[in-house]
């Protein structure tokens, strides 16, 4: 897992690059909206975030003073910097992402394993939590949902319910355009963040 200093350095470098970019071009390529001469509004899992690029980069929720985690700030910044490709409709797995094989074990531990371990026998709960994040049903597996993480990034989480013969199973699929938008490491972080948001929602519903 990256150390806090690594996250800070990654965000610092992204901030420097954002300052050099044309704001209108960033908005057009990413699906963001221009909020002012120095800032954009970027939807991230359905929540609007304000991205200020001058005189210094600041990323925060539009309707909340809640602090945004460093990994989420980095994802938003990297998406803005890499945007420019729209979805093709062709799905791929994480292994098919360039350098995905290097991060595959970490991806499994961070995203796929927690998904199946928590929701594998709770399909209806998974659907309810996913709908809370604005996801829509897809005809895959026993419980398949598609999430719009960023305007041009969609992710499918698919569950197969277990039975007496087979354990529950899960897979995570991406539109192939993601390989031109985010690095393999960013995709792993994004996927894990999505899964843990869902798990957090699930735990709240179970304890209610």
Determine the pLDDT at residue 163: 78
Q: Which tokens in the block code for residue 96?
A: 């098919």
Q: 184 Cβ partners below 8 Å, 6+ apart? A: 94, 97, 98, 99, 100, 102, 103
Contacts 24+ apart (CB under 8 A), 135-142: 140/173, 141/170, 141/171
Whether 103 contacts 182, CB under 8 Å: no
Please write the tens of the pLDDT for every residue from 12-61. 999 999 999 999 999 999 999 999 999 999 999 999 999 999 888 999 99
> pLDDT tens-digit profile of 174-205?
999 999 999 999 999 999 999 999 999 999 99
For 128-181, how does the pLDDT look when each residue is reduced to its tens digit (9 = 90+)? 999 999 999 999 999 999 999 999 999 999 999 977 788 999 999 999 999 999
What is the rounded CA–CA span in Å between residue 79 and residue 109? 23
Q: Residue 136 region, left (φ>0) first, then alpha (ψ -120 to 50), else beta?
A: beta
| pLDDT above 90 (res 2) | no
């Amino acid at each position: 897992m990256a150390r806090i200093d690594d996250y800070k350095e990654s965000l610092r470098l992204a901030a420097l690059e954002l300052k050099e970019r044309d704001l209108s071009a960033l908005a057009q390529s990413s699906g963001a909206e221009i909020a002012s001469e120095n800032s954009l509004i970027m939807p991230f899992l359905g929540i609007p975030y304000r991205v200020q690029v001058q005189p210094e980069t600041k990323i925060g929720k539009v309707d909340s003073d809640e602090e945004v985690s460093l990994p989420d700030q980095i994802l938003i910044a990297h998406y803005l910097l890499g945007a420019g490709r729209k979805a093709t409709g062709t799905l791929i797995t994480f292994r098919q992402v360039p350098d995905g094989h290097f991060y595959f074990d970490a991806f499994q531990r961070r995203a796929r394993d927690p998904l199946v371990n928590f929701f594998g026998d709770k399909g209806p709960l998974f659907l309810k939590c996913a709908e809370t994040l604005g996801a829509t049903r897809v005809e895959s597996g026993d419980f398949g949902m598609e999430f719009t993480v960023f305007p041009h990034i969609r992710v499918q989480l698919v569950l197969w319910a277990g039975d007496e013969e087979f354990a529950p199973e899960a897979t995570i699929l991406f539109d192939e355009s993601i390989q031109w938008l985010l690095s393999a490491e960013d995709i792993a972080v994004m996927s894990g963040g999505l899964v843990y948001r869902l798990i957090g929602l699930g735990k709240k519903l179970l304890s209610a």
